[in-house]
């Protein structure tokens, strides 16, 4: 387990240690791991108030335990990146856990889960300037498009600006697009092939250039047709902890055979697996690459 006292000592008495650790971090020579793909651990859920994993609504609430799980995952062979908000990435920096890793900063976390303003997903975490200043490799943004919610257009504009600003700094812009609707007051993502195609084509056109844009997409039915909708590189996301882990791994493996799919960005499914250890779950995912 990480030593909480060390983290607290740095945060209370030496806050400049964070910037120093970022400056000293050894950056990776490539976005790709030894398998020629990206294998990224996602850990930006808590900043949206989304702490559930499986049946436990507060699974991600213990920060030291979460950090321990992330560090275990990052230490496994073949894992070459992490996605997180400033609080999590800075804890990992202080713990010396980000050397040689692709680091992606999560940008818009304002659309808090379960709120009336969830679709107005404002940029409340990293921006392109802070990502570049920290020496990170890119930024990730969530783009949920609700045809019935005017808050969507502000998110579209903000994502377009972020894509352009990241590209201007030669940093990856990782866009996670969905068509979304409110059902009984809750936001639900439409995971049909038609909806994903529409969302991806909107996301691909954001910003002043698509040169540094990557897509982060779920596995849905008819993935061959879905991925034929873009020439941009894509990464497969894990989503909720699957009740049927065998099916989840099979779906990830099938998607990875598509030419535009360049790796995995998996969070809760590996950090809080339905069965077995974090190391076992991560190793199995790496094996798909």
pTM for the predicted model, two decimal places: 0.96
Alpha carbon distance, N-terminus to C-terminus of the chain: 29
Would you say the C-alpha torsion 119, 251, 39, 70 has a positive or negative sign? positive
Question: Mind listing the pLDDT tens digit for each residue in 246-255?
Answer: 999 999 999 9
Cα distance between residue 39 and residue 30, in whole Å? 12
Beta bridge partners of 139: 105, 173
| pLDDT score, position 151 | 81
Cα distance between residue 281 and residue 69, in whole Å? 11
Q: Which residue, among 253, 131, 136, 232, has the nearest Cα to 177 in the 3D structure? A: 232
Q: Are 208 and 167 in contact (CB under 8 A)?
A: yes
Angle between helical axes of 245-256 and 278-287 (0-180°, round to 10) = 30
Supply φ then ψ for residue 261, to 5 degrees.
-85, 120
Segment 54-71 mean pLDDT: 94
pLDDT of 10 above 90: yes
Under the banding of pLDDT at 50, 70 and 90, the label for residue 3 is confident
Q: Are 51 and 45 in contact (CB under 8 A)?
A: yes
Question: Mind listing the pLDDT tens digit for each residue in 181-218?
Answer: 999 989 999 999 999 999 999 999 999 999 999 999 99
Q: Are 128 and 105 in contact (CB under 8 A)?
A: no
pLDDT of 79 above 80: yes
Supply φ then ψ for residue 74, to 5 degrees.
-65, -25
Supply φ then ψ for residue 180, to 5 degrees.
-130, 155
Q: Are 88 and 67 in contact (CB under 8 A)?
A: yes
Supply φ then ψ for residue 178, to 5 degrees.
-145, 150
Q: Which helix (H) or strand (E) holds 281?
A: helix 278-287
Q: Are 155 and 119 in contact (CB under 8 A)?
A: yes
Cα distance between residue 283 and residue 276, in whole Å? 11
* pLDDT > 90 fraction of the chain, expressed in percent and rounded: 92
């Amino acid at each position: 387990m990480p030593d909480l006292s060390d983290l607290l000592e740095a945060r209370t008495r030496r806050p400049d240690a964070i910037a120093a650790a970022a400056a000293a971090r050894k950056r990776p020579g490539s976005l790709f791991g030894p398998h020629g793909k990206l294998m990224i651990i996602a850990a930006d859920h808590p900043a949206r108030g989304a702490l559930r994993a499986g049946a436990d609504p507060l699974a991600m609430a213990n920060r030291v335990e979460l950090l321990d799980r992330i560090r275990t995952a990052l230490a496994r062979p073949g894992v070459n990146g992490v996605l997180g908000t400033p609080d999590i990435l800075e804890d990992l920096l202080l713990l010396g856990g980000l050397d040689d890793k692709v680091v992606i900063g999560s940008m818009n976390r304002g659309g808090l889960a379960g709120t009336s303003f969830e679709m107005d997903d404002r940029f409340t975490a990293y921006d392109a300037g802070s990502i570049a200043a920290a020496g990170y490799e890119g930024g990730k943004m969530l783009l949920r498009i609700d045809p019935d919610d005017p808050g969507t257009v502000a998110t579209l504009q903000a994502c377009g600006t972020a894509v352009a600003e990241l590209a201007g700094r030669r940093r990856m812009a990782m866009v996670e697009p969905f068509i979304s609707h409110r059902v009984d007051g809750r936001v639900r993502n439409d995971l049909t092939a038609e909806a994903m195609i529409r969302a991806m084509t909107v996301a691909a056109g954001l910003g002043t250039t698509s040169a540094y844009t990557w897509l982060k997409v779920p596995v849905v039915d008819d993935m061959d047709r879905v991925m034929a909708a873009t020439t941009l590189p894509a990464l497969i996301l894990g989503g909720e902890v699957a009740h049927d882990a065998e099916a989840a791994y099979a779906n990830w493996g099938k998607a990875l055979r598509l030419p535009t799919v360049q790796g995995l960005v998996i969070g809760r499914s590996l950090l809080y697996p339905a069965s077995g250890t974090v190391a076992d779950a991560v190793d199995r995912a790496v094996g798909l690459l």
